[in-house]
Structure 1
Amino acid sequence: MLSYFRWVLFFVALFATLMGGALFLGHTLLNAPGPLDKTKNVVIPRGAGPVTMAKVLQEEGVIAHTRLFRIALMIDPAPKPIKAGEYEVPAHTSMRALVDLLQSGKVVQRRLTVPEGVTTAEVIELVRKTEALSGEITLDLKEGDLLPETYFYSRDDTRDGLLSRMKEAMEKTLDEAWRKRAPGLPLANRREALVLASIIEKETAIPAERARVSAVFINRLRRRMKLESDPTTIYGLTAGKAPLNRELTRVDLQSTSPYNTYFVAGLPPGPICNPGRASIVAATNPARDRSLYFVADGQGGHAFAMTLPEHNRNVARWREIQRERLEQSQSQPPAQQAPAPVRQ
């Protein structure tokens, strides 16, 4: 009888030793540094099971043994489904840390920045060329529909989905700005506010000037004066599909395009670009300024005036700056000539 208990104790001790060794070995293998020598983005395809996932991870150099990965999934004390997507796997990630990462669903967040003042055609082309997105663009988008901002997205998000988010952001921003608009604006609705914001966006790139430029156009609208905006006239010539790449001519300013605000009174029939938040706020909350005119000041900004004589003096100064720059450029060797001013 004593001999029997000795054998039982022997096998119990052997089993405990083997189990302890197995647990120690498993713990060591699960927490050992992985073979990946540098951080790498890895894509787990949709619908992939443990076998497919293990194969992908091995091919990407993240794990050395596919069976160990599958075992790690089976023995996980708090198992969670692994979500498909693109993951950033740090160098030498252990098996345990890898499983935690894939179960977290923290896929790589990419970003796409849409600059303020670009046209809808330009945004569509930008989104079309973004390789990590999927699907064709099927939405019918108009000028001014999309809010310029930085948007985060994941691999294989659809192009239509990202553009829809831009459109929703514009609608939300415009609604909020219209609700908080200054009283007594000569704007019939939020659509007209968007049109004005697009003109402001194209007229100045200086944040501090936006509200003042807005005031000039609001003052002119109140007095039923023509807006006389170069950017609207340019849009009438190009439809926002390409830059004009030349100065406006006398013939351009006499065109009968509804966007030629030297010819037609009031706002043009639609936006001329996609304005940013700041320009939308400026359109609905102009500065308290009685200026009716502005022209380039030669230093990147604009000189404002309340009267035509004052404006004419500002124009004369700007023309003199232009002449001086032209003379300076002509006196330099061709390879060192200064570029001509892009816009007035």
Structure 2
Amino acid sequence: MIWRNLASNMLTLLIVLLVAAAAAVAWAQREFTGPGPSEVAQCIEIAPGASLGAVGQRLAAQGAVSNAYIFRAGTDYIGKSGDLKFGSFLVPPRASMEEIVGVITAGGPSTCGTEVLVRVGVRENAVILRDTNPETGAYEEVARWNPAAGERPEAIAAAEAEEGARLSLVMAEGVTSWQVVEALNAVSVMTGEIAEIPAEGSLAPDTYLLSRGGDRNAILVEMARRQEAILAAEWENRAEGLPYADPQEALIMASIVEKETGVAAERPQVASVFVNRLRQGMRLQTDPTVIYGVTEGRGILDRGIRRSELDRVTPWNTYQIDGLPPTPIANPGRAAIRATLNPDTTEYIFFVADGTGGHAFSRTLAEHNAAVARWREIERRQGLPADSPVQTDE
């Protein structure tokens, strides 16, 4: 009888514990998916290498989540604990823990906090100070400085020195190695003298986190590491029968494709034109290589190409040399490298601007001459200066 009562009591206790556990799980689930405690938008900062536990504790301390343990357990449960992305991210008022996890694991550009952004652009470099507007919660540009244009604004200098402000460099596709070095040298809080310009094409366009007192050369090493990995992976998955002897030749071609079009969807077509020309023994005859022969990547040619420059023999002038130039003419991004190694299959051997920002592609010289005439008429109607002479015969 005693054992029967004991067993009955244990069963009752087990049932109570199970009910309590189920209730606790349901409560935790509601806490994780329900509206959060913050009545205002929150700027959530995730440091590189931060642990999920530390992030949860910080969110609880700033009132973005109600319970750090539930935040961590819920993130583990939905399989996102290994997906944290560094940066500063704005979340709306009353955001649930689940919504916050979605924001801090999706990545992308930072959307709040103070940030000094060094932007390496094709036309110019710029140092941009951005911050969160406390009234609107919007991420806004506060100041902008072109390092080539004058003295550094006080606001940017102060933010660069501020420990809490992020420093990052965004390298656009198609910039030259000289432009990257110029941008790094403009970050006054970094150290390390860059002894020589890295090989053209060897740096990966991407976003890089900078640190106060960090070595500029270490950033260049990381850029080169990423580009080497990208090129190796894309070379491994290349189409068969391409006219490139090695990955370096593909990189040279990718830099030309990168500079020839700003329309991403056109890259495989542009690559097909140059592949067809190489296979037929035709010269590439591409203006960006002429420009590189003039500037050697040190600055931009802020005017049209002169006939004398088209006629001048340089190692890069593909109107005058056969095959590929000896080096890349810029640092191509992954998309241009991929297009170069997996071009469209076409019969195109010519292309010219079509007035929409893209190009008209042609199979024959007659088609090409007609497309050139249409482009010249567009230039005339819009009052644009005629660009460099377009090759119309072989």
Query: Which bracket does the TM-score occupy, shorter chain normalised?
Result: 0.5 to 0.7
1:151–1:221 distance in 2 versus 1, CA, 3 Å = same
Q: Matched residues in 1 for 2:360 and 2:296: separation?
A: 29
Residue aligning to 1:313: 370
Residue aligning to 1:160: 217
Residue aligning to 2:170: 113
Confirm or deny: 8 A CA contact 2:284 2:319 kept in the other structure: yes
The alignment partner of 2:361 has SS state of strand
Matched residue type, 2:341: T
* Residue 242 (structure 1) shift: 1.8
Confirm or deny: 8 A CA contact 1:116 1:148 kept in the other structure: yes
Kindly report which structure 2 residues correspond to 1:176-255, keeping only aligned pairs within 5 A, or say none.
Answer: 176-255=233-312
* Residue 154 (structure 1) shift: 2.6
The alignment partner of 1:187 has SS state of coil
The alignment partner of 1:151 has SS state of strand
Higher helix share: 1
1:288 maps onto 2:345 in alignment: yes
Matched residue type, 1:278: A
Higher strand share: 2
Confirm or deny: 8 A CA contact 2:257 2:270 kept in the other structure: yes
Matched residue type, 2:262: A
Unaligned runs of 5+ in 2: 1-42, 46-112, 115-162
Confirm or deny: 8 A CA contact 1:107 1:154 kept in the other structure: no
Q: Matched residues in 2 for 1:229 and 1:191: separation?
A: 19
The alignment partner of 1:111 has SS state of strand
Q: Matched residues in 1 for 2:252 and 2:167: separation?
A: 31
Provide, for residues 185-233 of structure 1, a one-character-per-residue CA deviation record: whole Å limited to 9, x for no partner.
Answer: 0000000000000001110011000111000000100001010000001
Q: Matched residues in 2 for 1:141 and 1:184: separation?
A: 31
Query: Which of these two proteins has the greater Rg computed from alpha carbons?
Result: 1
Q: Matched residues in 1 for 2:164 and 2:234: separation?
A: 34
Residue aligning to 1:273: 330
Kindly report which structure 2 residues correspond to 1:45-194, keeping only aligned pairs within 5 A, or say none.
Answer: 109-138=166-195, 141-194=198-251
Unaligned runs of 5+ in 1: 1-38, 42-87, 90-105, 327-338
Matched residue type, 1:201: E
TM-score by length of 1: 0.63
TM-score by length of 2: 0.56
Matched residue type, 1:255: R
Say which is worse superposed, 131-140 or 246-255, in terms of deviation: 131-140
Q: Matched residues in 1 for 2:334 and 2:165: separation?
A: 27
Q: Matched residues in 1 for 2:386 and 2:264: separation?
A: 20
Greater RCO, 1 or 2 (C-alpha within 8 Å, sep 6+): 1
Q: Matched residues in 1 for 2:266 and 2:191: separation?
A: 40
Q: Matched residues in 2 for 1:341 and 1:300: separation?
A: 15
Aligned residues: 232
**Counterpart selection for 1:325 from 356, 379, 382:** 382
Confirm or deny: 8 A CA contact 1:108 1:154 kept in the other structure: no
